[in-house]
Amino acid sequence: MSMHTTSSNTVTSNDGYVNVRGFRLYYRIFSDEDGGRKGTIVCLHGGPGIPHNYILPLADLAKFGYRVVFYDQLGVGKSELPKNPALFTIENGVEELEAFRQAMHLGKIHLMGSSYGGLLAIAYALKYQRNLKTLITTGGLHSVPEVIAEMERMKSELPKNVLETMKKYEEQGDYENPEYVNAMMVFYKRHLCRLDEWPEELNYAIQNVSKPVYGTMNGPNEFTIIGNIRYWDVSDSLSKIKVPTLVTGGRYDEVSPKIARKIHKGIKGSKLVIFEKSSHLPMWEEREKYIETLRKFLEKHP
C-alpha cells in the first residue's frame, strides 16, 4: 500500500493504491485530526466508469468528524485497467467493494452511492448488509429497465429539433458526432447538472470516463443503456434491506424521482429527500443543503 498526505485547515487527505483481488485500485481518504471518530463513509462513483472526482463534495463530511473514503472502481480513473472486459459486471463490483473494505480495514461502514454507484450500493447491501451501518443513495437505481423507460419519457420532452438530431445519429450509430454531442448536452443540462458553469471536477470526470467500462456495462451515453446492466432489476428484493437508508435525488434527475420513490417504498423505514433545484448531482447543485441532509441522517445513526 502506498500513500501520500496533504492537509488543509484540519481536514487532511491521503491517497494511494491498494491491491484488491489482484488489481491495483486508487483511493483517496479525507478526515479531520481525530481521524474520523464518527465513522467511515465509503462513496461509490457512478458511470459505470466515471472516476470518483465528480462526487468529491462528499469530502465536506470530514469536517463533521467522518472519515470519507473514495476509490476508482476497477478499470476506472487511476485504478488498473484489466485486459478482460468480462470483469466489468455488477457482481464483480460488489465483491470488489467487499475486498476493498477488508483490505483497507474499514470495519462497518456507512455506504453512499451516486447514480450507478447507488445501484452498486443496493447490490452490496443485498449481499453484505451485515457490514453496513447505513445506506445512502443519490440518483441511485433498483431497476435499469424502469430507468430506461423514464429516460425515454424525458427524452421525448426535449425540443423537436434536438430529438431529430439524436435520432439521426443514433440510427447511424455515430455517437461521437459533434452535432449529436451538442444534442446530448441539451439533455445533460436539464437532467445531469443544471448549473450554468459545470465544476472542473465534473468536467474532468466526464472527460476521463473509462470507455471500456462504460461501453461494456452501460452503453454509448447516459440514455442509451445497451450494456450488461440493462436488465438488472431488484425490485422484488428491496424489502430484504434492513439497514437505516436515506434515498435522495433531484427533482429533474435523469434517474427520475419516480425511481427514488420506489426505492423508498421498497426499503421499509427508509427516508426520502428530493432536492427541488437539482437534477442528478445535488452534491453540486445544492451542496450545502445536500451535505446538511446527509449529516443529519448520519447523526441519527452513530
> Catalytic amino acids?
115, 253, 280
- Indicate the burial class of 129 (C-beta count within 10 angstroms; 0-12, 13-18, 19 or more): middle
Identify the sign of the CA torsion 251, 256, 260, 261: positive
CA distance 213 to 230: 14
The DSSP code for 14 is E
CA distance 98 to 178: 40
And the C-alpha cell for 280?
442528478
| Phi, psi of 106, rounded to the nearest 5 degrees | -90, -15
The DSSP code for 130 is G
Pairing of strands 109-114, 40-44: parallel
The DSSP code for 224 is B
3-state class (DSSP) for residue 211:
helix
Q: With contact defined as beta carbons under 8 Å apart, do 191 and 253 qualify?
A: yes
Angle formed at CA 158 by CA 157 and CA 164, multiple of 5 degrees: 120
Pairing of strands 67-71, 23-31: antiparallel
- Beta bridge partner(s), residue 282: none
CA distance 278 to 199: 14
